[in-house]
Chains A and B, each alone.
Chain A
Amino acid sequence: MLAILILLPVAAGCFLWLARRHYVISQLGGLLFALLNLAAALRLYQGGQFSVILPVTVPGFSLTLRADQVAELFLLFAAAMVPLLLIYSIGFVRDKKWGGLYLLYLCLSIAMVNGALLSDDLGLLLFFWEGLLGTLFGMLLLRNRENPRAAVKALTVSGLADLILMLGIAASVYSAHTTLMSGMQQLPVTGVGALGCAALLMGALGKAGCMPFHAWIPLAAEDAPTPFLAAFPGSLEKILGIYLAARVVTELYAVKPGSAVSVTVMIFGAATILLAGAMALAQTDLKRLLAYSAVSQVGYMVLGLGSGLAVGVAGAVFHLFNHVLYKTGLFMTAGAVEAAAGTTDLRQLGGLRHRLPLTTGSVVIFSLAITGFPGLNGFYSKELVFDAALEVNVIFYLAALLGAVITAIYILKMLHSVFWGQPAAAEINADQRQGAQNQPAAAAVNPAADQLPTARQAKVTGRQGEAWALAIPQLLLALACVGFAVGESPVVDGLIGQAFNLQERFGGFPKSAALVIISCLALALAGADHLYGWRRETAASRATDHLTGLPGLRQLYVAAQRGCFDLYVWLTAGVRAFSRLCQWIENGVTWFYDIGVPRTIMGAGNWLSALDNGSLARYLALAIVGMLAVGLIFILML
């Protein structure tokens, strides 16, 4: 059964690649595979925990697959996302030349995710984990061989995270004297253990897209096809990253609340929420906005997990599930919008609610969920994270709350400008004019703004009406959001609480009414700000301009434009400086071999031959010096 979950997606990928020209067969095949995958995951979940040792030996590895409750829960959730991702992807890549390869890579990625979730051996886990890097690189290259910047950046930044994870695994294996996660229980966070814990968390959260490992995601949002965004930064990578981070915090290492590791992780979480949220505010491209939003939301999970508290873990994992549902949905929405209107530029879009009624219905639910609107699933998970943050330190709570306000502001802007209002060419021109004068920084963080196709072109390229393959997965995700809201208690206490063996119960309406009221006020504040911004600028797509022009934020965008928050920029700058040093050393070594040694030998030769001038006295003197030297050697040897 465990092997099926890994081999089945590989077979499905090959099938979809071969059947790439036949749309219906692809859809049916994809659906069949996705359902089989789901059935296998469900069967596993019902079957309880067990482990299998693969019948091959590789030195240094004990190739063990294990399905325990945590793995089964994440596996089931990932498997539930697969049908939606596949149906949507097959619909999206229809008639595209690169479609077959895309589906092959997607299925291989699913195999990798399944494998990583089922691995008990950390080396094996890394095998599947890092394998995603290969498929990621391939997918990002599909449409962008001419301009591979996103692929290069993703491979470098994620590669760094994965290699740090490798170091963490090596250190953990050294501390625990076993390569199996089941053999690592509450390792102490000291010495090599501290290195192991920190490196594992960095690797895991890097995969989830936490700052500063997020750098490639906004770039991918511009260059990669939308189903990729839904699948990778939207769901699969988040599931995997948070899965491992949750295991590290709850199981592998004894991370105490308030310890150095815990506080550091929480600081990264809070910074991610705020910085990525602030970046999302300034975006004028739908996909880039959602990409920054995806990064920002990871911050909540990191904050929850970093707290080391049971409520934080429950909140983080529940937030992950919710996030995957609504963010995948939102990315799919962006794809549907792109397919319908031919652009994702907020300034060109508008009034799509008439053309895409189903998409609009779903996107409203996703938006309410992501903003934490009371009654929807995002509300419950955010409140749990707020609880945890407040328990550790009020500063973390305030950061999270501010993040919620920011989220609501940019989501309202997105919703309003895409689905309501009117697409006005005049507005674009005015915006471009004004943007050049007033908003150089905001324009600079939106490189896509340079190549605006006109709304008329967009209409020609865009498909009319709503494609079912693109709409149905969104509807199902919206339903799932509602379902998770209604059945919140069974999910939090039943599924998550049971899997992580949490003693307390966190389901049901939040216990602290005061926190709920504050959250509601925060949402109201965001709503009021949007109205103010919209009235002031007379365009929904510019409703955040009054914020992005604020002192502080303005400098932030300038810094972002310079690459101050971009790990890739740091890395390349550091490596370039180091490489220059190396080149300098190498030039020295080359000089030694190519010039120094030959010149010394030639010089010595010339000098010796110059001595040979036929003078008897000189020969005699040389002979005496020679004899003295031989004598000296003899004396030294004696």
Chain B
Amino acid sequence: MVLLICVGTPLLGAFLLPALGHWSEKARRWGSLLMVLTALVCAAIATVDLLHGQADAVRLQLPLGLSMGLRMDALAAFMALTACTVSAVIVVYSFGYMKTYTHLNEYYLMITFFIGAMLGLVMSTSLLQMYIFWEFSSFCCWRLIGFYRDDLSVKRADKAFMVTVLGALAMLVGFTGIYGATGTFDLDALQGSQIPGWSTGLILVGILSKSATFPLHNWLPDAGVAPSPVTSLLHAAVLVKIGVFAYARLFVLTFSIDPVITVIVPVIAAVSALVSAGCAMMATDIKRVVAYSTISQLAFILLGLSSGSRIGFAGGLLYILAHSMAKAGLFLCCGIVEHNLHTKDMTKMGGLARTMPKTAVAFAFCALSVMGIPPFSGYFAKYLVISGEVDAGHPVIAAVFILGAVMTIMYLVRLFAKVFLGPCRNPESREGNGQMVGSVLTLAVLSLLLGLLIFLPSGLITLAMEAM
């Protein structure tokens, strides 16, 4: 029951928001936040149940080996809690950021609906259901990237939609291959089964396109035309994690795959990490730098999950959490800067630490976490991922990722130094409003606290590792 409320509240409740919006602007905002918080509380309750050894589940059996259902396990709990926490902060940020724009009915509808779709996806018990929620999320992504309705936004939105939907269709064909071989879409029934090689390949295409991995990554930097909270929620914190989640769910926890995949995927990830890091070094648009950084860090996550070692898997999961918090914070900080200066070009910025000290501190904290510097949470994740890859017997790939990590430090320091340090070039700039600054500071502090209290998420991660 708690799972149905968890998924149903944002998924169905989202359609009430336009009605609320006609009545009052405030009701729409708070309604949206309330739905996300309800989902968060329900996810927390289900997680507590899980930690006490009682896994919540709902299931509906259909003919032809089809089924539907929701199930809470360690991986789902981990993803749901991460997604809901970050989403709640981003929704609060939206209150301040979005208030001057029109089409807010659609905005809150899509944001809330997306969170519902995400929760439905992580708790899915069948492949087909996963696919449906997957496409829901793509649809939300399409509408939200094109939020400003100008030609460029619409074009970029179409591009993102095309790439991710084509990837998803490839994945669907892969799923049908599995159905053809086993006669079921049910994840429990598929536990430990061998699947055809071509299915694996097609599913990987879907995963890589959703998690913006080279060469299917190109839509993500272009999606920076969307409003910053959208970029933050979809293209840093939550949506892009769907792909890596699917990898963990399908290839680590469900199917038994060919060991060669544990080499091919890390190599793809390594190329993706380096190429995107190089692009981040060259970009001058602040949101593009952060977007390329997202692609690079997603490669680290994928490396951890695909390494085949338990330590790496734990690192990958922890990276999802640490990266969601920190990268969401970075995008939101970029949003404050962009909102204020009306430009995204870092060559026109400088010395903003003087006029926006709180944003600068929040940005620094989040950047340090992404760089993997202790005591921020990113450190543990990065260490475990690298450790896991060496543990899997691939020190060379680990060394390549060390290069990627060095470049991460370099491009983030470059970004921070150009925007916030140096002589003040924008003396007229001012700190963002309370909701925006409060949100970024919350994410920055969470990044720090998660590092200091790293044992808190460890229970869930250990549980997920045991399921391997």
Of residues 373 through 417 on chain B, the ones whose CB sits less than 8 Å from some CB of chain A are 373-376, 379-380, 382-384, 386-391, 393, 395, 398-399, 402, 405-407, 409-410, 413-414, 417
User: A582 contacts B274, CB within 8 Å?
Assistant: yes
In angstroms, how far is the closest chain A Cβ from the Cβ of B279?
Answer: 5
A2 at interface by CB-CB < 8 Å:
no
Segment from A165-173, A275-283, A318-326, A367-375 that makes contact with B? A165-173
Q: How many A-B residue pairs have CB under 8 A?
A: 163
B23 at interface by CB-CB < 8 Å:
no
Bound CA span A128–B451, Å: 12
User: B413 contacts A156, CB within 8 Å?
Assistant: yes
User: A130 contacts B380, CB within 8 Å?
Assistant: no
Chain A residues with Cβ below 8 Å from B395 are: 167, 170-171, 174, 192, 195
Bound CA span A590–B283, Å: 14
B422 at interface by CB-CB < 8 Å:
yes
User: A127 contacts B409, CB within 8 Å?
Assistant: no
User: B413 contacts A579, CB within 8 Å?
Assistant: no
B455 at interface by CB-CB < 8 Å:
yes
Chain A residues with Cβ below 8 Å from B414 are: 152
Chain B residues with Cβ below 8 Å from A126 are: 374, 379, 383
A160 at interface by CB-CB < 8 Å:
yes
User: B278 contacts A583, CB within 8 Å?
Assistant: yes
Bound CA span A469–B274, Å: 50
Given A145-B353, A575-B407, A580 and B282 contact (CB-CB distance below 8 Å)? yes
Chain B residues with Cβ below 8 Å from A134 are: 368, 373-376
Chain B residues with Cβ below 8 Å from A48 are: none
User: A159 contacts B409, CB within 8 Å?
Assistant: yes
Question: DSSP class of A's interface residues: helix, strand, loop or mixed?
Answer: helix
User: B315 contacts A60, CB within 8 Å?
Assistant: yes
Bound CA span A582–B278, Å: 5
Between A123, A133, A167, A589, the greatest number of chain B beta carbons within 10 A of the residue's beta carbon is seen for A167
B245 at interface by CB-CB < 8 Å:
no
Given A58-B458, A130-B379, A174-B391, A585 and B275 contact (CB-CB distance below 8 Å)? yes
Given A145-B421, A152-B413, A133 and B373 contact (CB-CB distance below 8 Å)? yes
> Quick one: closest A residue to B214, CB to CB?
A589
Interface bits A609-636 vs B (CB < 8 Å: 1, else 0): 0000000000000000000000000000
Bound CA span A445–B354, Å: 31
Chain B residues with Cβ below 8 Å from A575 are: 278, 281, 407, 410
Bound CA span A148–B379, Å: 24
User: A147 contacts B455, CB within 8 Å?
Assistant: no
Interface bits B291-318 vs A (CB < 8 Å: 1, else 0): 0000000000000000000110011000
Given A131-B375, A174-B391, A192-B395, A167 and B417 contact (CB-CB distance below 8 Å)? no
Question: DSSP class of B's interface residues: helix, strand, loop or mixed?
Answer: helix
User: A171 contacts B390, CB within 8 Å?
Assistant: yes
In angstroms, how far is the closest chain A Cβ from the Cβ of B386?
Answer: 5
User: A589 contacts B278, CB within 8 Å?
Assistant: no
Contact of A582 among B159, B279, B315 (CB under 8 A): B279
Bound CA span A578–B421, Å: 26
In angstroms, how far is the closest chain A Cβ from the Cβ of B313?
Answer: 9
User: A59 contacts B461, CB within 8 Å?
Assistant: yes
Given A134-B374, A586-B279, A572 and B398 contact (CB-CB distance below 8 Å)? no
Interface bits A170-210 vs B (CB < 8 Å: 1, else 0): 11011000000000000000001001000000000000000
Contact of A131 among B373, B402, B458 (CB under 8 A): B373
User: B390 contacts A170, CB within 8 Å?
Assistant: yes
Chain B residues with Cβ below 8 Å from A130 are: 372-374, 379
A606 at interface by CB-CB < 8 Å:
no
Count class of interface residues, chain A: 35 or more
Chain B residues with Cβ below 8 Å from A131 are: 373-375
Count class of interface residues, chain B: 35 or more
User: A578 contacts B278, CB within 8 Å?
Assistant: yes
User: B279 contacts A123, CB within 8 Å?
Assistant: no
A556 at interface by CB-CB < 8 Å:
no
Bound CA span A58–B453, Å: 10
> Quick one: closest B residue to A61, CB to CB?
B380
Interface bits A84-114 vs B (CB < 8 Å: 1, else 0): 0000000000000000000000000000000
User: B275 contacts A582, CB within 8 Å?
Assistant: yes
Between A126, A147, A170, A592, the greatest number of chain B beta carbons within 10 A of the residue's beta carbon is seen for A170
Chain B residues with Cβ below 8 Å from A535 are: none
Chain A residues with Cβ below 8 Å from B461 are: 59
Of residues 20 through 38 on chain A, the ones whose CB sits less than 8 Å from some CB of chain B are none
Given A131-B374, A134-B373, A576-B281, A166 and B413 contact (CB-CB distance below 8 Å)? no
User: B454 contacts A170, CB within 8 Å?
Assistant: no
A163 at interface by CB-CB < 8 Å:
yes
A581 at interface by CB-CB < 8 Å:
yes
Given contacts A60-B383, A170-B390, A586-B278, 4 further A-B contacts (CB under 8 A): A160-B409, A173-B387, A195-B399, A586-B275
10 contacts between A and B (CB under 8 A): A58-B458, A60-B315, A134-B374, A145-B421, A166-B382, A170-B386, A170-B395, A173-B390, A576-B281, A586-B279
